[in-house]
Amino acid sequence: MNPSTPVRDAAVTAGAAVRLAALRKAYGEVRAVDGIDLTIAPGEVVALLGPNGAGKSTTVDMILGLTEPDAGDVTVFGSSPAGAVRTGSIGAMLQGGALLDDATVGEMVAMVASLHRSPMPVREALARAGIEELANRRGNKLSGGQKQRARFAVALVSDPDLLLLDEPTAAMDVGSRREFWRSMQAFTDSGRTVVFATHYLEEAEEFADRVVLMRSGRIVADGSVAQVRALAGGRTLRAVVPGATDEAIANLPCVTEFRLRGEQIAVSSSDSDKTLHALLSAYPHAHDIEITAIGLEGAFLTLTSDEEEEPSADDRREEALKSTQRTRASWASSRTEERGK
């Protein structure tokens, strides 16, 4: 069920790339990070997924040692973040600016390289980021995508074992986004650990081995991409079913959540084909059948939307919320079982 768990458990003993234990950080009343436990094995490519304000950036900042946690521990390759920074084993692309207007790309990369003990050659960093031809261009003369690549080169030049990327493709168009991830892939193929925060689901799906979903400072889901896809693969089946009863609908195969209102049913199913076949053989007169996929986007939204929010009048949303909570609960229990073994 959870193939990455053994890998991670092994990592705990072998020396994890990143280990967060009961991590907390509050800004005044706002609990930006509210108790996070996370172990990332060397070589993993992890997507930190969540809406704005979920605590992704604060988590990244604490891993980097830029922000001091209120409570809990951060370990990077067995040492403190500061220690990892000193040895150059951690590199990062920070959100926003982080470039100089009055220096060229080559100079900025060279500056950072000159501060590290064993950097890679500046040319190599530029080449890996795919911006050799921009070496002599000043920071203020770069496009959004070029800026991100320049930041990537700056992050790469210390030849880090762990790379943290905070919304790396935020200002990029689709083309440069592809291009960026292609350079990134070359880096991860060499066995380096990468943690990236994003709110682009497709990026997580395409490039991460593991997805960590965050909401309101907590981890709400953590699993392989396949698991997240399975989670998001549920469908909603609606139909008008004369003579339907609560019990009959609940006993249909693969139903995770349902609602019966008069003759109208709305069923969340993990396998809508099976549910539909069973429904039709039990109720041949069922009509106005409609099957909709929740989709990755919907799953992401429901998983990361505010739980305390009052259920809205919108049936579909309410259902989605419930089904998600249920799925989450069952997922969590299956994970605990896994851990127990």
Partner 1 sequence: MSIKYLALEIRRVTRSPRFLIFTVGFPVLLFLLYVGIFAKDPGTKAVLMVSMTSFGAMAAALFTGTRVALERASGWQRQLRLTPLSGPGYLTAKAATGMTLALAPAILVPLVAVLGEGVSLDASGWVRATLGVWLAAIPFALIGLLIGQIGTADSTQPITQLVMLPMALLGGIFIPVTTMPDWLLKIAHVLPSYWMGEIGRGAITAGSASLGKDVLYLGIWTVVLGFAVVRRYRKDSARV
Q: Which residues bind partner 1 (CB under 8 A)?
A: 64-68, 85-88, 90-92, 94-103, 107, 110-112, 114-117, 154, 158
Nearest to 65 by CA among 103, 28, 102, 18: 18
Nearer to partner 1, 157 or 294 (CB): 157
Is the Cβ–Cβ distance between 282 and 275 less than 8 Å?
no
N-to-C CA span, the chain: 12
Minimum Å gap between C-beta 42 and partner 1 is 19
Is the Cβ–Cβ distance between 146 and 172 less than 8 Å?
no
Q: Which burial class, exposed, middle or buried, applies to 35 when counting CB atoms under 10 A from its CB (0-12, 13-18, 19+)?
A: middle
Query: Largest alpha-carbon pair distance within the chain?
Result: 77
Nearer to partner 1, 97 or 311 (CB): 97
d(CA 255, CA 190): 43
Minimum Å gap between C-beta 90 and partner 1 is 7
Place of tokens 């500056």: 111
Minimum Å gap between C-beta 239 and partner 1 is 54
Minimum Å gap between C-beta 57 and partner 1 is 12
Q: Report long-range pairs for 327-336 (Cβ below 8 Å, ≥24 apart).
A: 327/231, 327/234, 327/256, 328/220, 328/221, 328/303, 330/256, 331/221, 331/223, 331/227, 331/231, 334/1, 334/2, 335/1, 335/2, 335/5, 335/223
Minimum Å gap between C-beta 262 and partner 1 is 58
Nearer to partner 1, 67 or 268 (CB): 67
Nearer to partner 1, 8 or 138 (CB): 138
Nearer to partner 1, 65 or 130 (CB): 65
Cross-strand pairs, 46: 195, 210
d(CA 129, CA 212): 26
Minimum Å gap between C-beta 207 and partner 1 is 22
Nearer to partner 1, 49 or 110 (CB): 110
Minimum Å gap between C-beta 190 and partner 1 is 20
Nearer to partner 1, 26 or 98 (CB): 98
